[in-house]
Structure 1
Amino acid sequence: MTEVNAILAMGSSGQMGLNGRLPWLSDDYAEQVKADLAWFAKLTAGGVLVVGRRTYDEMIAMGFKNKDRALAVWSRDQNVGPGGFITMLYQKYPGRPIWICGGAETFECFKGYIMRWHISRIAYNGPADVRFNPVWLLG
C-alpha cells in the first residue's frame, strides 16, 4: 500500500480555521505564510492531495497552482468510504504518496489511515472556530 501522510498548518494554540478561512491570511503573517507554502510545495511535490470541498474552495481562492500534484476532492456523500477512496487513489496513481490536506472533517475521516503527520506552526494567537484535534494523532 502507498504512504498516507497528513499535512497542515496551525496557530500557536492549534487554530486551523475561522469563518471557513485560514485565520492568518493577512499582511501580519505574509512571510510565515510564504515560507509555509514553500514547505508544503516541497513536501507534497509529486503526490496526491486529498482535500475536502471547503478546503478545495479555499485553495482555489488563494490561487493554488496544482503543477505536479494530483488533486482529489473528498466528500462524505461519495459512494466509497475513506479506505476505499485511498485504494482508488493508489490504483490510479501507483507509487505516489497520498497527502491528506484538510480540513478538519477530512482529517477526522482519514485519521485511521494516516501514517505520518507533518505540522507547521504559524505564530498566530487570534480566534478560531476550528482547531487541531490531538485525538487525530491516535488514528
Structure 2
Amino acid sequence: MSRPTPLRPGEPTPLRPGGPAPLRPGRPVHPDLRGRIPLLAAAYAVITRDAPGGREVLLQLREGTGFMDQWWACGAAGHVEDAQAPSVALAREVREELGVDVVSAHPLTTMQRGGLVGRREQRADFFFQVDAIEGEPRIVEPDKTADLRWWPLTELPDRVVPHERVVLEALAAQLTQGVPVPALIEHGFAQRLTLVAAIGANRAIGVDGGMPWHLPEDLRHFKEVTMGGVMVMGRRTWDSIGRALPGRRTVVITSDRSWSAPGAEVAHSLAEALLVAGDGEVFVVGGGEIYAQTIELASRLEITHVEVSPEAEVFFPEIDPEAWREVRRDEREGYTFVSYARVGEL
C-alpha cells in the first residue's frame, strides 16, 4: 500500500493510479445540457482511522444548510475557490469545519457529477482520503452541523448523501475485498425523467385533494408503467394515495422537516429528490407544481388523455407540440393512453 502524500500549502497532490471507471454507452443529450456547461469543483475529506472493529470514517450530520439537511456527509467539504488546487481547498475546509490540520492525505477518486436540476452546471468532486490529522475533530460550525461521529465503513448510516455514499462504499470494498476505488466515477448522467399523469381535455389533474375521475384501467396502467421504478411526488400527491405503493421506491418532497411516513424517502426540494432518486429512469407522478418544474427536464411523458373538462384546482402544463412527439397511442372508450418522447431524443 502506498504511503500517504503530505499536503503542502499551495502544492497539488498527484493523482494515484486507480481502476478504470465504469463507462456507459452514449445516450442523447437533453437540449438544455448541450454546450459549455460550467464545471464547479469541490474538495471532500474522507477522514479515516483504525478501530478495534475495523476502519472507521468521520461523518457530519448536516443541518441548517438548506440542502440535504439531516443527511450524513463527509467530515468536511467545500468548493475550490480562487483557482486553488483541490488539496489547498481540502486543508482549508478541514481546518474551518473541524478545527484540525491535515497532516497527510492522498487523492482517493474524482467524481464528475451531472444533474437535471441546476441543469446549467455540472460538478467535479475531488475526494481525498485523510489518514492523519493534528488535533481532535470538533464541531466548529454548529449552525451547519448537528452531529459529528465516527462510523464503521462497513456499517454506514442509512441517510448518507447519495453521491458521497458511492465513494465511501467503494473505499469499503477496497479495504475489505481488495477492489480498487476507480480513479474516475461518473455519476448522475444516466438519470432520465418520465412524467406520468392523467389529464382532462382542459389539462385538469386534481380537485379537492384527489383526481376528478375514477378510472380503474388508468390505475392499472399507472402500475404497469411505474412498477420496479422510482417515483417522485409532492406531499399532497402522497396524501391522496395514502400509502407507499408496492414494488416501487417513493421519494416525497415536503417542506415539513418533521414529516415522515412508512415507505417514503423524504426530500425537501426537487434537487434533493432527484439526488436521492439516483441514476436511471425516474417517474414524476405529481402534483401540478412539480410537473411544472420538471416538464422541461423530462425525456418522456406517459399521459392518459381523459375526454372531459372538469372543474379543477390543479392543471398539467402545456404539452408543446414542437418539443414533444407522439410515439404511441392506445385509444379506449372515453380516454386514450399516449406516450410522448422529447424531440431530439428519439
Amino acid at match of 2:208: N
Aligned match of 1:15 in 204, 212, 221? 204
Q: 1:6 to 1:49 in 2, by over 3 A?
A: same
Structure 1 regions of 5+ residues with no counterpart? 26-32
Higher share in helix: 1
**Does structure 1 residue 86 correspond to structure 2 residue 262?**
no
Deviation at 1:135, TM superposition (A): 6.3
Q: What is the correspondence of 1:1-139 to structure 2 with a 5 Å cutoff?
A: 1-25=190-214, 33-60=215-242, 66-75=245-254, 81-90=269-278, 94-95=279-280, 97-134=281-318
* Identical positions, percent: 25
Aligned mates of 1:127, 1:42 — CA distance in 2? 28
Structural RMSD (CA):
2.7
1:29: which partner in 2? none
Contact 1:107 1:136 in 2 (8 A): no
Return structure 1 stretches of 4+ with deviation > 3 angstroms.
Answer: 76-81, 135-139
Amino acid at match of 1:69: R
1:28: which partner in 2? none
Amino acid at match of 2:277: L
Deviations 1:89-128 (A, max 9, x none): 21xxx54x21000000111222333111111022333211
Instruction: Pick which of 76-85 and 43-52 moved more.
Output: 76-85
Structure 2 regions of 5+ residues with no counterpart? 1-189, 258-266, 324-341
Higher share in strand: 2
State the TM-score, normalizing by the size of structure 1.
Answer: 0.75
Aligned mates of 1:100, 1:136 — CA distance in 2? 18
Number of residue-to-residue matches in the alignment: 125
Aligned mates of 1:127, 1:80 — CA distance in 2? 30
Deviation at 1:20, TM superposition (A): 2.0
In our comparison, the structure showing a higher alpha carbon Rg is 2
Deviation at 1:2, TM superposition (A): 2.1
Aligned mates of 2:207, 2:270 — CA distance in 1? 26
Deviation at 1:76, TM superposition (A): 5.2
Q: 1:84 to 1:113 in 2, by over 3 A?
A: farther
